[in-house]
Amino acid sequence: MAESKELEQIVERAVAQVLDRHLPKLQAEIVERVLAALPAGSSQTAPAAGDGTSIHPNLVQAVAAIHTGITQKEILRALLDASSGSADRVALFVVKAGAATGWQGRGFGNDESLKDFALDMTASPVAHAYQNRAATPANIAEMDGRFVERFGGPANEQILILPLVLKEKIAALLYADGGAEGVLDAPSLEILVMATSAWLEVASLRKQTQKEITDSALSYERPAPVPVQTVSSFADPFAGHAPKHVAPKAPEPEPAAEVVEVAQAGAGGAAASPAAAADPFAGLSPEDADTHRKAQRFARLLVDEIKLYNQAKVAEGRRHKDLYDRLKDDIEKSRATYQKRYGSTAAASGDYFQKEVVRSLAEDDLGVMGANFHL
């Protein structure tokens, strides 16, 4: 047991060193990709008060500040801090079970004043942002009446609701307005929310990758059958947050206090199903079974990486049913990487990369891959 613990610590240190060396490059690439999503001709000059049409001069620094966050708490706090440079008042509402609950704010006099405030999801701008996954400008008169009564409104009456999307789901809503000064830089706020979403996924994948590598190393010490994972392994940073007005359970102090895998959070869980708990590799030798499991994990990591860096293409490909054509280069490069590692092993017959492409990218709908994709 002591030797296994020591081995785990060595692997964790090695993984952390490798990831730390690559994080600066990854941060820079995310900044470039986010800025590339700006409309053509966007200015790099500072906006006039209430203008909302140009890019804040410190936008890159603001995105970099978000990327210094390691934990979900740090990342979300950095988002609020950075957003306060583009709006006088900002507040983050965590969405859980179809309800939005206040977490923290900036510019309201007290950062904790929004905590546990139940936002009316039927209010026009909130409902539009949530249902359409789009930044929604509106007049304060269209907002939740209780919100206006408690926190007041901006001098120019203009507000903005922005959805924070994680794993193609709305995880939070960012409220912003110009307060007394009327400063509301909508394009910059959109970029900051996009950068935060991307970085939260990076943080999740980083934690998942470290766990995968550690598990792989420890498997040589204590091999054990692993049940087939039948749901997404994406770590939901808001899974621990249960709004007071939704369920009568003890409130969670922070929306991102602890990462909990979706597979463990679902009612009944995979472990509750005898079929899911059965080991599909029970008839293989321990060595071959271990190779199959590692191949499955490696395929998931490769496809997760494709999704992370091509979110817009994935959404468009599913919509137009030509996903393979849009992602062909990325898919084939990752396929070559997978084949190089597992194409000549006992796991070759499993074809796990191809299966993961259909399961994860196409969400088990082969039709969205397009006519040029072949099994």
What percent of the chain is modeled with pLDDT above 90? 44
pLDDT at 23: 58
Which among 150, 171, 200 is the end of a domain? 200
Domain assignment of residue 82, given as a range? 24-200
> Is 375 among the domain residues?
yes
190 and 320 in a common domain: no
Beta strands in 44-156 (DSSP E): 89-96, 99-106, 118-119, 136-139
Domain at 195, CATH number:
3.30.450.40
Residue 254 has pLDDT above 60, yes or no: no
* 23-27, 54-58, 356-360 — most confident range: 356-360
52 and 144 in a common domain: yes
Residue 241 has pLDDT above 60, yes or no: no
35 and 176 in a common domain: yes
The pLDDT tens digits for 117-152 are: 999 999 999 999 999 989 999 999 999 889 999 999
Please report, to the nearest 10 degrees, the dihedral formed by the alpha carbons of residues 112, 116, 121, 122 taken in order: -100
For residue 70, the tally of other CB atoms under 10 A from its CB is 12
182 and 37 in a common domain: yes
Q: What is the pTM of this model?
A: 0.49
Q: Which residue has the tokens 């006099």?
A: 109
> Is 331 among the domain residues?
yes
> Is 364 among the domain residues?
yes
Query: How distant, in Å, are the alpha carbons of 15, 183, 232, 341 from that of 299?
Result: 19, 46, 13, 11
88 and 187 in a common domain: yes
Which among 185, 200, 215 is the end of a domain? 200
Task: Write out the two tokens for 306.
Answer: 């494709």
Which among 175, 200, 225 is the end of a domain? 200
Contacts of 334 by beta carbon, 8 Å cutoff, 6+ apart: 302, 303, 305, 306, 353
> Is 165 among the domain residues?
yes
What percent of the chain is modeled with pLDDT above 70? 66
196 and 60 in a common domain: yes
The pLDDT tens digits for 73-114 are: 889 999 999 998 899 999 999 999 889 999 999 999 887 888
pLDDT at 268: 42
- The dihedral through the CA atoms of 122, 124, 128, 134 has a sign that is negative
The residue ranking higher by pLDDT, 235 or 202, is 202
> Is 168 among the domain residues?
yes
Distance of alpha carbon 48 from alpha carbon 70, whole angstroms: 33
* 7-11, 34-38, 121-125 — most confident range: 121-125
Say which range, 187-196, 272-281, 310-319, has the weakest mean pLDDT: 272-281
Split into its structural domains, the chain has a count of: 2
pLDDT at 144: 85
Which is nearest to 83 in space by CA: 236, 235, 228, 185? Answer: 185
| Mean pLDDT, range 10-34, rounded to an integer | 60
179 and 308 in a common domain: no
Distance of alpha carbon 253 from alpha carbon 244, whole angstroms: 11
Asked if 161 and 174 count as a contact pair (C-beta separation under 8 A), the reply is yes
Helix (H, G, I), strand (E, B) or coil at 161: strand
175 and 38 in a common domain: yes
Distance of alpha carbon 197 from alpha carbon 269, whole angstroms: 27
pLDDT at 211: 63
Query: How distant, in Å, are the alpha carbons of 73, 101, 142, 334 from that of 238?
Result: 10, 11, 27, 30
Asked if 80 and 87 count as a contact pair (C-beta separation under 8 A), the reply is no
> Is 102 among the domain residues?
yes
> Is 358 among the domain residues?
yes
What are the residues facing 91 on neighbouring strands? 105, 175
> Is 119 among the domain residues?
yes
Distance of alpha carbon 274 from alpha carbon 179, whole angstroms: 56
Asked if 22 and 202 count as a contact pair (C-beta separation under 8 A), the reply is no
Task: Write out the two tokens for 25.
Answer: 């490059």
Task: Write out the two tokens for 349.
Answer: 């017959």
pLDDT at 212: 63
AA letter at 238? F
294 and 179 in a common domain: no
Q: How far is it between the farthest Cα atoms of the chain? A: 71
Distance of alpha carbon 23 from alpha carbon 28, whole angstroms: 9
Residue 204 has pLDDT above 80, yes or no: no
